[in-house]
Chain A
Amino acid sequence: MKLNLPPSCCPARSALALAWCAALSVFSASARAENTDPLEGFNRSMFAVHEGIDHAVMKPLAQGYDAAVPLPAKMSVGNFYSNLWEVSRSGNAFLQGKGSNGLTGLGRLLINSTVGIFGLFDVASELGLEEGNEDFGQTLAVWGVPDGPYLFLPVLGPNNARDLVGWGVDQYTYPLWQQVEDKPVLRNSLGVLSFVKTRANLLPVDTVIDEAALDRYAYIRSAYQQRRAALINDGVPPRPVEDDDDYNNNR
């Protein structure tokens, strides 16, 4: 099976989105319930590639950013990107039938884009409008699309087939990428900054994984799958049970 995936984190073109949809249908057919990671061999080698790149480039960049940029500036960078994600978060809330969350998102976008000066300050949270966490992968899940196989890709990190499609759609509809589409230098700079700040946010997690995991690959896979399940379920965590037949039957 050949993977057709984007080489960069920049905005997806419709052709790529189509390729993902094709990938999804192929994968969801091969996935079924018996094993959530049928591509483990491929994934583990991609994981090794990823860790190499991360160690050499991404983590040092993130550490540099984390050390050099003062906290208020980091907060504003995060807020700026996050504010524009409100379009997708709110849209996906509507698509999942959560009207009030969608409206809250729109309210947040309105307030933070104006009073919050282009989203640099998260005024809406101070006013009690809490940020949601929705994306198109979750919407697909709510619509009944299965996870598909787990996919670990270098630079992009942990994913499953469905959420990779969702990610592509979200990137495609992200207003910032649309605004800078024909300005390559600005687009690439914003893309890299977005990437670096995301990686910097994950720095504290590195230490925990280093210490806690017997097998980093399996630990991250499990955390990713649990996290996605919780988000789809709107943050209500699953409870572990003594004799998890579903779980064991999957082995």
Chain B
Amino acid sequence: MKRFFVLTFLMFMATGLVSNGVALAQALTPDALVKSVTDDVLKTVRQDKDIQNGNSQKTIALVQAKVLPSFNFNRMTSLAVGRDWNKATPQQKEQLTNLFRDLLVRTYSNALSSYRDQTVRYKPFTMQPEETDVLVRTEVLQPGGRPIQLDYSLNLVDKGKDGGWKVYDVVVGGVSLVTNYRDTFAQEVRNGGIDGLIQSLADKNRALEKKAQDAQKR
């Protein structure tokens, strides 16, 4: 009987290890992940006349389906909020993360709909096997303009089947999207506490939502 328990225990352990191992093995390397998501999204945008004509709902749906799963918004938000993050309750953290995610998705979607003839060049990428935090560097080539550096920070998130490499920052021409919010967020927290920041983000999202609806009606 005792042997049975030990055996079962070992089997559980083994299945756990195996499934974990499979999940990690199936997860793409960071550069492959960035490339596959980028190529996938750009291919869709190129083929979709609605998105090119500025149908923001459709673009947002695309971003939600194809881009969101590869992003670590929790980490993005905590980095943007900085030290004040520790002052937030779990519930406030969740609110902040959701609101910040909506803001970023909308901004990103609208930038995407202005995508025309750009192509992306992936720079050589190497990493050590034990690394869990990396930078994948790309360059957006646009006709008639200078190339724009577009870099992604990724870290390895180990959470069962949702695990793998996740993007936690996008750096455009040396400007980190996450860091760029720090001053504003710190200022909002100074003025109105965490709830003040939540309120500002909610107001901003509402204003953008309204603007998008007005644009749709026209």
Contact = CB atoms under 8 A, between A and B. Distances in A.
Nearest to A212: B107
Contact of A247 (B82, B169, B200): B82
Contacts of A142: none
Given A212-B107, A214-B201, A244 B82 contact: yes
B179 A238 contact: yes
B61 interface: no
B186 interface: yes
A74 B176 contact: no
B175 A74 contact: no
B66 interface: no
A240 B107 contact: no
B114 A204 contact: yes
B216 interface: no
A211 B107 contact: yes
A71 interface: yes
Nearest to B200: A214
B110 A211 contact: yes
A123 to B, nearest CB: 15
Interface stretch (A50-58, A89-97, A227-235): A227-235
Contacts of A186: none
Nearest to B179: A240
Name the residue in B111, B146, B151, B204 with the highest tally of chain A Cβ atoms < 10 Å from its Cβ: B146
A168 B173 CA distance: 24
Nearest to A224: B175
Interface residues of B, number: 40
**Chain B interface, >50% SS class:** helix
Contacts of A242: 78-79
Contact of A240 (B79, B183, B187): B79
Nearest to A122: B146
A71 B142 CA distance: 12
A72 B145 CA distance: 11
Chain A residues touching B, range: 35 or more
B208 A211 contact: yes
B174 A230 contact: yes
B165 to A, nearest CB: 15
B188 interface: yes
Contacts of B188: 214
B26 interface: no
A219 B107 contact: no
A218 interface: yes
B182 interface: yes
B171 interface: yes
A219 B114 CA distance: 21
B100 to A, nearest CB: 11
Contacts of A25: none
B201 A223 contact: no
Most chain B CB within 10 A, of A208, A226, A242, is at A226
Contacts of B114: 204, 207
Contacts of B183: 218, 221-222
Contact of A214 (B111, B133, B173, B204): B204
B199 to A, nearest CB: 11
A67 to B, nearest CB: 14
Given A201-B145, A212-B103, A227-B173, A247 B208 contact: no
Instruction: Find the residue from B103, B110, B114, B180 having the highest chain A CB count within 10 A.
Output: B180
A251 B169 CA distance: 23
A71 B176 CA distance: 30
Given A215-B187, A230-B173, A247-B82, A74 B144 contact: yes
Contacts of A241: 79
10 contacts: A208-B110, A208-B111, A211-B106, A211-B110, A213-B184, A223-B175, A237-B171, A237-B174, A240-B169, A242-B78
